[in-house]
Structure 1
Amino acid sequence: MKFRCRDLNPGLSGESRDYPLFDPKKSTSYKKLSTNHALARFFTRSNNDECNFNVTYESGQSSSGIASVETFTFPSSKRVPESIQGIVFGCTNNYQGQFASNTLVTGIMGMNRSPLSLIGQMGTKSVRRFSYCLSKLNSPTKSTFLRFGNDIKEKGNFQKTSFLSARNDYSVKLLNLSIGGRVLTLPRGTFSSGCVFDVGSGTTYLEMGAYNAVKNALIQHFDRFNLTRVGTDPSFPGDLCYLLQRGFRNYPGMVFHFQGANFEIGPEALFRFINDRFCLAVMGTQKRLTVLGAYQQQNVRFIYDIGNEKLLFAKEDCSQDKA
Structure 2
Amino acid sequence: MAFIETLLSLISLLSSALLLHAAIEGPKPITLSLIHPFSPHSPFYPGNITDMEKIDILIQVTNARIHHLFSMMRERNWNGSSEVDDIVAIVQYTGFYFVAQVGIGSFPPFPGRNEKHYLLMIDTGSELTWVQCEECNPCFPLQQPNFPYKRSQSYKPIPCGDPTCPTPNQDCFQSFCGFKISYGEEDPPTSTAGAIIKETLTFPSNFGGTESYNNLFLGCGFKNYHYEFRQPNKIGGILGLGIGDTKNLPFLNQVGKKRFSYCLLNSEHTNSQLCIGGAKMVGPQVLSTPLLRGPNEALYYLDLQDISIQNIRLRLLGSFSGGSAIDSGSPITFLLPNVYARVRIGFVQYFDRFHIYPYDSGSRPRDLPMLDLCFPNPSGFDRYPTMTFHFRGADLVVQPDGIFAFGRNYFCVLLKSGPATMIGAFQQTQHKFSYDFELGDRRQGEIGALRFAPQDCGSPASDFCG
Bin of the TM-score, shorter chain as denominator length = 0.7 to 0.9
Aligned to 2:148: 24
Aligned to 1:15: 141
Greater CA drift, 1-10 or 313-322: 1-10
* 8 A contact 1:6–1:14 mirrored in 2: no
The answer on 1:175 being equivalent to 2:305 is yes
**Structure 2 CA distance, aligned partners of 1:251 and 1:79?**
45
* 8 A contact 2:142–2:236 mirrored in 1: no
Aligned to 2:340: 211
The answer on 1:55 being equivalent to 2:185 is no
Aligned to 2:394: 261
**Structure 1 CA distance, aligned partners of 2:282 and 2:234?**
31
Please list the CA deviations of residues 232-255 of structure 1 after superposition, one character each: whole Å capped at 9, or x if unmatched: 876843211112221111211110
Deviation at 1:157, TM superposition (A): 1.7
Secondary structure of 1:220's aligned partner: helix
* 8 A contact 1:145–1:321 mirrored in 2: no
* 8 A contact 1:5–1:24 mirrored in 2: no
Q: For 1:247-286, what aligned pairs fall within 5 Å after superposition?
A: 247-285=380-418
Deviation at 1:47, TM superposition (A): 5.1
Greater CA drift, 225-234 or 130-139: 225-234
Aligned to 1:74: 203
Aligned to 2:213: 84
How many residue pairs end up in the alignment? 311
Letter in 1 for 2:168: R
The alpha-carbon distance between structure 1 residues 81 and 120, as it changes in their structure 2 partners (threshold 3 A), is: same
**Structure 2 CA distance, aligned partners of 1:258 and 1:59?**
35
Deviation at 1:5, TM superposition (A): 2.3
Secondary structure of 1:171's aligned partner: strand
Greater CA drift, 29-38 or 263-272: 29-38
Aligned to 1:221: 350
Please list the CA deviations of residues 271-314 of structure 1 after superposition, one character each: whole Å capped at 9, or x if unmatched: 111343211111110x2x22111111112111111011221001
**Structure 2 CA distance, aligned partners of 1:155 and 1:104?**
39
Letter in 2 for 1:226: H
Letter in 1 for 2:180: F
**Structure 1 CA distance, aligned partners of 2:238 and 2:389?**
27
Q: For 1:89-168, what aligned pairs fall within 5 Å after superposition?
A: 89-92=218-221, 94=224, 100-101=229-230, 106-114=236-244, 115=246, 116-122=249-255, 125-126=256-257, 128-141=258-271, 143-150=272-279, 154=282, 157-164=285-292, 168=297
| CA-based RMSD | 3.6
Deviation at 1:146, TM superposition (A): 2.5
TM-score where L is the length of structure 2? 0.58
The alpha-carbon distance between structure 1 residues 13 and 248, as it changes in their structure 2 partners (threshold 3 A), is: same
**Structure 1 CA distance, aligned partners of 2:368 and 2:237?**
25
Letter in 2 for 1:262: D
Secondary structure of 2:265's aligned partner: coil
Deviation at 1:59, TM superposition (A): 11
Secondary structure of 2:274's aligned partner: coil
**Structure 1 CA distance, aligned partners of 2:324 and 2:254?**
25
The alpha-carbon distance between structure 1 residues 62 and 160, as it changes in their structure 2 partners (threshold 3 A), is: farther
Identity, in percent, stands at 28
Structure 1 unmatched runs, 5+:
none
Greater CA drift, 296-305 or 164-173: 164-173
**Structure 2 CA distance, aligned partners of 1:178 and 1:163?**
21
TM-score where L is the length of structure 1? 0.80
Letter in 1 for 2:371: G
Aligned to 2:434: 303
**Structure 2 CA distance, aligned partners of 1:284 and 1:183?**
19
Q: For 1:29-40, what aligned pairs fall within 5 Å after superposition?
A: 29-30=154-155, 34-35=159-160, 36=162, 37-40=164-167
Aligned to 1:243: 376
Letter in 1 for 2:166: L
Secondary structure of 1:146's aligned partner: strand
The alpha-carbon distance between structure 1 residues 176 and 21, as it changes in their structure 2 partners (threshold 3 A), is: farther
Aligned to 1:189: 318
**Structure 2 CA distance, aligned partners of 1:21 and 1:153?**
40
**Structure 1 CA distance, aligned partners of 2:373 and 2:278?**
42
* 8 A contact 1:177–1:256 mirrored in 2: yes
Letter in 1 for 2:291: F
* 8 A contact 2:165–2:177 mirrored in 1: no
